[in-house]
Structure 1
């Protein structure tokens, strides 16, 4: 039984859930829907409150008026009854006849006027209508007379009293609201005091109240429809220009800088559209100026890079001759020849990087795709960088991956990315840190392959992780570059990663080192949605000692605290 109920509930939820999600979507995205619904709900609360107060006042007024009329009728009936009794001669032997003569005319008039009558008594003898006896309208349920009212007339010379009651009939199961009035009268035949109860139903009052209620409900429904329509119309006049502005803004963001809003009228919305168009025009002009400036800069870099190659070749040939003959020079001249050779090497590397950057800017960079084993690339790069690491006193190793880490990529560009990351980690190692190490980790899944380079260096200050890929940016301008970097390595590495459709991201914390993560799609054209390795490492220091082998257990990276920042333009998914 319980399983059947759960299955029915699941089936019901399966039908209701899509509609509920669509309704929530409309509620979240539509200002007009929220304003209309909120206004209608608030108006409904106000109308309900006002209608309730009006109904209460109408009901109280009808009841008070009805009670006044009933008391007047009862008073007239009692005066008529006393006059008839005073005009009749009676003795104790005909007391029952006097009761009938007293009550029967009243009962007959009650049938015509819609009220019931009951005669109880004698008062003060402890007898109740429920005990039997007495005269009353046929079909009247004597339980309709409340005991509280009967107890009021348990003695003689009691004043007229009334109360609300539910009038029941022995022929019908339904009760009707009404009022019951009691008044005492003395029969001349026996000198005893009897109580007459008059029961008046609120039939007309209930009909009137029902009519008023229906009228209020109809008016409230029409008012709610009117409020909803007016609110929808007003909000549409305000929201429609906002939606048009959003659409134009989206087209502007997509590069269609000539898009403008249509200005009609002179109201606030029209002035807003005019200001929006002015803003778009200024942005278009500034963007074009920046594009022209950027094009001039790229052109300048490209031209200068190409023009410097010829004189650099000549200077290189002369420098090589001088450097080869330095043994015959004076020690100071020999040192100058070595410095000249080193600076020419650095200048040539800078020129190569500038040419590569100009190719990226011109959109001329292309990929030569093949199956690449990232583990082999990492081992090859680490082996080449080991002399520099030993010179710096830094340990560098590659943690063996759990499985093959391959991707279809350009091996030259991937190797350049890894080389830049490793040499950058060695170059920024903290020389005062007792445990200096650089660890390369790799992992892959069905869609992506990832490589991280983690160091125990000086780390990155807040906000610097988004700036390390800027051209010529340095975290510490006073730091000496032992690896002879040009300041373009990470910028070129990021361009290489983007050319593959991948990510190159950074994490860092001052005094705790930094981590760079390269994520590549395993197949060209695959959109990346996640990375097999976390960007946020275990912030514990990297242990020193021998590099792990394939038989050595390696420490799996954990997700530690949140990163200080990540590279601009990419998300850690």
Structure 2
């Protein structure tokens, strides 16, 4: 049963064809229409042609039998039971595959192709003996034939068996041509449908690509102009929306940059003031010492947040240069304190990238592993399908699948949201990683680490040879 409030699905929606892509459905519809039209035309052509050819053959055979019957009647009247009758029947048989049979005085006289007269249909012969001519298509000795029986005086019967091999061959050839024509027409209809569907859906494809680029951070993506009266309003509306979104994002970035710059001076004053208090911490009472520690932690966190906001708001171009990822990883890990993680870089992997942003990506990933996973235990570097790959593993609790996209959003700190202190982070580290990776046309995601924990994977395009 359909749940209350759920949209009802029509019978067409449950058909397998509805599960295909629209372009494929258009092609299938063209092919189906072509199949129906050409199949109907082929059926009508077959019926008309076969009826005409068969009727022509039957009429010709009947006229020939009428002439032959008159000749046999004359022969029977002039010279009954003479040798001339056998010669006449032999001449009437004509071709070797034709059989002429005469039943006279209770006996059969045959000429031409030898057949078993007893296999001829009894109802057909009975009709001829009763004075009514009859004909029937049947297999005689395995050969398609037309049997024509004509009445004669004194209950005599004249039978002539005409071969239909040539007619059947012509009909089979015609049917083969029609079937091949229907098949070719269906294939052409499918191809035409795919071409028409692709052309008709080209604007939708361009819209999808442009919307995907905008969603991926390319706010300069626009649709090309169109002179089509139906598409022009859609193109204009999309481009206006993209313009407004780009302007709003630019205003927000300028606002964040302005606020961050304005905060740097008082922030520097606060950092220096707290440094003075830290140096005199021993002269303060325990309550004041605790307050200084809390203030120092929050100011340091505030300072990192301001620097991250400044970095996010920057719109300068990338300075791409070839860098070996293994060397970058070793350099960043070497300047950090604590227990260094295992570096797994079996072979050099060189990419063209912005060194400053790659340093920030690696540094933020290591900071994130330290804050949420007890520190990084492995940093892997490899090349896959023409892309440089960086893997940062930790042995922490991992990240639930439902939250793996959420952690790359700004001010998302997972289970530590709302907590204070250095370990809580600013909630901007992974969002900055995602922004830098997108600017490099790369990808970043989180997956499970074999053995437990989380693995953050960064892939960057353009591996240099």
Q: TM-score range by the shorter chain?
A: 0.5 to 0.7
Change (3 A) 1:52 1:333: same
Q: CA deviation at 1:300?
A: 0.9
For residues 464-519 of structure 1, the C-alpha deviation after alignment (integer angstroms, 9 at most, x for no partner) is 3223222222333256665241111112223444555654332259x953210234
Q: What are structure 2's unaligned runs of at least 5 residues?
A: 1-21, 212-219
- 2:407 alignment counterpart: 468
Change (3 A) 1:164 1:185: same
Shifted more, 296-305 versus 420-429: the winner is: 420-429
- 1:43 alignment counterpart: 37
CA distance in 1, matches of 2:287, 2:364: 34
Choose from 373, 376, 384 the match for 2:330.
Answer: 376
* Larger of the two Rg values belongs to structure: 1
Q: CA deviation at 1:426?
A: 2.9
CA distance in 2, matches of 1:321, 1:498: 41
Does residue 199 of the first structure (1) align with residue 153 of the second (2)? Answer: no
Choose from 411, 422, 425 the match for 2:366.
Answer: 422
Does residue 179 of the first structure (1) align with residue 119 of the second (2)? Answer: no
Contact 2:361/2:436 (8 A) holds in 1:
yes
CA distance in 1, matches of 2:282, 2:343: 45
Q: What are structure 1's unaligned runs of at least 5 residues?
A: 1-27, 86-96, 131-139, 169-174, 187-192, 264-272, 387-395, 430-435, 529-573
1:516 partner SS: strand
Please report the TM-score for the alignment, with normalisation by the length of structure 2.
0.66
- 1:318 alignment counterpart: 273
CA distance in 1, matches of 2:456, 2:400: 15
Choose from 423, 426, 433 the match for 1:486.
Answer: 426
CA distance in 2, matches of 1:375, 1:118: 104
2:425 partner SS: coil
For residues 274-298 of structure 1, the C-alpha deviation after alignment (integer angstroms, 9 at most, x for no partner) is xx44443333333222222211111
Contact 1:375/1:405 (8 A) holds in 2:
no
- 1:516 alignment counterpart: 456
CA distance in 2, matches of 1:520, 1:240: 32
Does residue 442 of the first structure (1) align with residue 410 of the second (2)? Answer: no
Q: CA deviation at 1:178?
A: 4.7
CA distance in 2, matches of 1:399, 1:148: 94
Please report the TM-score for the alignment, with normalisation by the length of structure 1.
0.55
Instruction: Describe how 1:341-352 pairs up with structure 2 within 5 A.
Output: 341-352=296-307
1:45 partner SS: helix
- 2:16 alignment counterpart: none
Q: CA deviation at 1:324?
A: 2.2
Does residue 329 of the first structure (1) align with residue 284 of the second (2)? Answer: yes
Change (3 A) 1:370 1:251: closer
Choose from 82, 85, 99 the match for 1:100.
Answer: 82
Contact 1:145/1:180 (8 A) holds in 2:
no
CA distance in 2, matches of 1:313, 1:142: 119
Does residue 242 of the first structure (1) align with residue 182 of the second (2)? Answer: no
CA distance in 1, matches of 2:396, 2:279: 38
Change (3 A) 1:108 1:461: closer
Choose from 233, 250, 259 the match for 1:295.
Answer: 250
2:341 partner SS: strand
Instruction: Describe how 1:385-424 pairs up with structure 2 within 5 A.
Output: 385-386=338-339, 397-398=341-342, 400-403=344-347, 413-424=357-368
Contact 2:145/2:163 (8 A) holds in 1:
yes
- 1:9 alignment counterpart: none
CA distance in 2, matches of 1:151, 1:312: 118
- 1:3 alignment counterpart: none
Contact 2:26/2:193 (8 A) holds in 1:
yes
2:412 partner SS: coil
2:249 partner SS: helix
CA distance in 1, matches of 2:88, 2:41: 46
Instruction: Describe how 1:101-140 pairs up with structure 2 within 5 A.
Output: 103=85, 123=106, 140=111
Q: Which of the pair has the greater relative contact order for Cα pairs under 8 Å at 6+ separation?
A: 2
For residues 81-139 of structure 1, the C-alpha deviation after alignment (integer angstroms, 9 at most, x for no partner) is 77x47xxxxxxxxxxx6423983897699699xx9866677747xxx757xxxxxxxxx
- 1:363 alignment counterpart: 316
CA distance in 1, matches of 2:53, 2:371: 91
Choose from 285, 291, 295 the match for 1:340.
Answer: 295
For residues 531-551 of structure 1, the C-alpha deviation after alignment (integer angstroms, 9 at most, x for no partner) is xxxxxxxxxxxxxxxxxxxxx
- 1:25 alignment counterpart: none
